[in-house]
Amino acid sequence: MNYPIIIYPCDEGGYVAEIPALKGCLAQGETLSETLAELEIVKKLWLETAKKHGRTLPDVEGEVQKVKALSYSR
């Protein structure tokens, strides 16, 4: 599942990446590659946990449309 992500630099160095559709799903690293690799691990664990507890997963296309709407409204 390819949810939209947000990546931003940290003041102290490195990066933070998050998947807003998956509450609390974020990772950090020293490089963009490291950050994205960590985010993949966290996303996998988040989705596995949600499925295990019977939670409904956010619709990927719906989340993409939300991001597009925000991008176009600026």
Cβ–Cβ < 8 Å for 8, 15: yes
The residue range of the domain holding 33 is: 6-72
Does a structural domain hold residue 24? yes
The pLDDT tens digits of the residues spanning 6-58 come to 999 999 999 999 998 999 999 999 999 999 999 999 999 999 999 999 998 88
Instruction: Answer yes or no: is 57 within a domain.
Output: yes
Tell me if 1 is assigned to some domain. Answer: no
What is the CATH classification number for the domain harbouring 44? 3.30.160.250
Number of domains in the chain: 1
Residue 27 within a domain: yes
Within a domain: residue 32?
yes
pTM: 0.80
Contact at 8 Å (CB) between 3 and 60?
Answer: yes
- Residue 13 is assigned to a structural domain of this protein: yes
Lay out the sheet containing 6-9: strands in order across: 6-9, 15-18, 26-29
